[in-house]
Structure 1
Amino acid sequence: MPVHISPPRTVLGTHKVTTEEIAQDIRARHASHPRLGAFMRVVGNCGVQTRNFTRPLHSPTVAGDADVHTRTQAAFDDALDLAERAALSALETAGLTAADVDAVVTSHATGYSVPNLDAHLIHRLGLRPTVRRIALTTMACAGGVHALVKAADLVLLRPHEKVLVVAAEVLSTAYNHRADTIEAMIYKALFADAAGAAVVSSTPLASGLAVADSLEYTLPGSLDRYRGRLDAHGMHFDSTKQAPRAPAESMPALTEWLDGRPVDFAVIHPGSLKMISDTADTLGLGPAHTVHSTETLAEDGNIGGVSALRVLERTHLSPPPPGAPGAMVAYGPGFTTAALYGHWHA
């Protein structure tokens, strides 16, 4: 039995920031750094032209010097606001109200809060108090697809129920001038803020991706490739020199899972241009099939677990033919791969 994903709805931060503005900020704050030239090269080559933050670039919790408590509280507050707006939009698109939701699966990794996004949304959206909930709090960039996988599992267990999936990240909280490595500069230019939501159900609520199978894979020996780190100054995102190779090292598992099944379209997490192209190559697809991913990266940046939902939302604007087989693939710290396989329902 296929499980259906309603058209996602995403909400971006309200402050658009260009890559040149970020380059100027880095030049001003690190003018005497011996690797400033290298910083400028990686910022210029990241594939992102614009991105949106929830707060202005020069606010205390972005390029300023706010402490860890102020940063993480602001990140969660802003993520919750974005999540509420995305969820309401997704429910409206699916023709549903809060009373129709039987379960909620959330993904959020950039602002510490207990209770987390799931419980807050029950109150914000007016969901029933008996709604079941799953909160994914460390999946990061793979979180949106992981949440869809968990939602599909719930629907397969209770086919009459509808599951709301919400991912929200305020990655601008990691924009921190205390970190002055090459990797930190890449993430300053790469990351952005957004939320996305969709409804998963056993019967189609609209056209979209119908899911028949899923994959969750953790690359052995890869725990330190990508990781979050907290100190007194805020949250940082670190990676090793081996990190960029992790997606390619995970491709054999993706290929084995597909087992020769055809893929005519793909929703690929836009973590980097190379990540997009390597995944497309593995799926047997060319640049024409990755336009929605590359445009998302260029115009919106890497918005963490929301990214795949954003790419799927763009896919609805120029959808594949009815019945076309396709896959949805995302990667995150761990190093993890989350994927869905199915067809386009119209």
Structure 2
Amino acid sequence: MSVKIKAVSKALPEFSRTTAEIIPFLDAWLIDQDDRFIRKVKKIFENAAVDQRYSFMSPDEVFSDLSFEERNDIYIREGIKLGSECLKSALEKASWKPEDLDYIITVSCTGIMIPSLDAYLINALKLRQDIVRLPVTEMGCAAGVSGMIYAKNFLKANPGKRAAVIAVESPTATLQIQDFSMANIVSAAIFGDGAACVLLSSNEGDEGPEILAEEMYHFYDAEEMMGFRLTNTGLQMVLDVEVPETIAEHFPQIIHPFLAKSNLEIKDIDHLIFHPGGKKIIQVVESLFGELGKNINDTKEVLRLYGNMSSATVLFVLERFLDSKPKPGDYGLMLSFGPGFSAQRILLKW
């Protein structure tokens, strides 16, 4: 019994700005800072390899003194809207009806909502009343792949079933307007908002790339490297400058033993479906794999077009690969990183 990816679909918020259009908002935000610091911040934005960002909020709202409650209310309202949109779109791609779903997983880390998003989607699309729910929070950028791993394990244990993983994120809602730390600045420069849905199946009649293997990899003593602090003004970004170097140090342990369990090497992998954590992480990956003739052009393009949308981003990359229709027999490696610190991996075969 195999588990396959049937369809992937994305949804984007109504607000978007190019990097050039964001610069005037930086001037207003940083008006009381010294000129040298302002120039440094602008350079970070201009060199982030992000040409455009989408947002649940207008730029005026993003760079305003909205309270945590007000920002979170927007996150909830727009998250339900985008989550519904991408789930509907994915079901249409798959030619599935809402009642065909047996399992729904929602992932997000950039806001707080109880009931969780899945409850709203059940009502909005009239999913089955006996559908199994799993809301996943607090796993950050890794949660898109984590959700797929949970779905795969459910489907493997339940032949003939179908699952949806929906990732909805609004990192712009977490901007701390009074925080001028590098973590907050870099976060504002690389992150954007978006939603994506991936449909998976253990139904023999459904076609798509098969999930051959999946694993999580946990870094010891690295809890403080990435995440959020819950403060009176909202979710404050924690982002250690050592993240790219730490990832580079662990790459051999993350990649090679995982592939070896399937009797494969990195040279056998045709498609690298990597989460674009940021420009520096992309440079690390290219330095490690470039000599092997591997590229992460789709990863770079997703970062350029949308920014890092936390857990949803790797699903944007996956959609590009599915749309390009790889050859039968091709292998793909999905990889994302998140708080903990952890790496999540999935091996695909078309």
TM-score by length of 1: 0.93
Q: What CA deviation, in whole Å up to 9, does each residue of 1:209-246 have, x standing for no partner? A: 31110011111111000111222222221212323323
Q: Would you say 1:37 and 2:43 are equivalent positions?
A: no
Partner Cα distance (1:162, 1:285) in 2: 39
Q: CA deviation at 1:284?
A: 6.6
Q: 2:324 — aligned with what? A: 318
Root-mean-square deviation (Å):
1.9
Answer whether contact 1:38 1:182 (CA < 8 A) is retained. Answer: no
**Secondary structure class of the residue paired with 1:7:** strand
- Indicate the percent of aligned positions where both proteins have the same amino acid: 26
How far is 1:38 from its partner? 1.8
1:289 to 277, 292, 295: 295
Q: Partner of 1:127: helix, strand, or coil?
A: coil
Does the C-alpha gap of structure 1 residues 289 and 168 become closer, same or farther in structure 2, counting only changes over 3 Å? same
- 3-state SS in 1 of match to 2:109: coil
CA distance in 2, matches of 1:142, 1:221: 18
Q: Is the 8 A contact 1:51 1:299 kept in 2?
A: yes
In structure 2, relative to structure 1, the CA distance for the partners of 1:288 and 1:282 (3 Å cut) is closer
Q: Deviations over 1:143-168 (max 9, x none)?
A: 11111111000110001110111110
Higher mean C-alpha displacement, 200-209 vs 17-26: 200-209
**1:254 match:** 255
Which blocks of at least 5 consecutive residues in structure 2 are unaligned?
A: none
**1:14-33 alignment to 2 at 5 Å?**
14-33=14-33
* CA distance in structure 1 between the aligned counterparts of 2:115 and 2:331, rounded to whole angstroms: 39
User: Structure 1: where are the runs of 5+ without partners?
Assistant: none
In structure 2, distance between residues paired with 1:89 and 1:51:
22
Q: Give the corresponding residue for 1:97.
A: 97
CA deviation map 1:286-308 (0-9, x unaligned): 68631211110001100111111
Q: Give secondary structure in 2 for the equivalent of 1:51.
A: strand
In the alignment, the residues of structure 2 paired with residue 11 and residue 144 of structure 1 have an alpha-carbon distance, to the nearest angstrom, of: 15
Contact 1:10–1:310, Cα closer than 8 Å, also in 2:
yes
User: Which residue in the other structure is 1:160 paired with?
Assistant: 160
**1:244 maps to 2:250:** no
Q: One-letter code of the match for 1:335? A: F
* Deviates most, 31-40 or 101-110: 31-40
The aligned length equals: 342
Q: Could you say if the C-alpha distance between residues 253 and 289 of structure 1 is closer, same or farther in structure 2, counting changes exceeding 3 Å?
A: closer
Letter in 2 for 1:168: V
Larger displacement relative to structure 2 (211-220 or 15-24): 15-24
Q: CA deviation at 1:56?
A: 1.0
Is 1:113 aligned to 2:113, yes or no?
Answer: yes
Residue 118 of structure 2: SS of its match in structure 1? helix
Pair 63,160 (structure 1): closer, same or farther in 2 beyond 3 Å: same
Give the distance between the partners of 1:205 and 1:172, measured in 2 at CA.
40
Partner Cα distance (1:176, 1:185) in 2: 9
TM-score normalised according to structure 2 size:
0.92
Query: Compared with structure 1, are the counterparts of its residues 26 and 174 closer, same or farther at alpha carbon in structure 2 (3 Å cutoff)?
Result: same
- In structure 2, C-alpha distance between the alignment counterparts of 1:11 and 1:207, rounded to whole Å: 23
CA distance in 2: counterparts of 1:181 and 1:101, whole angstroms = 44
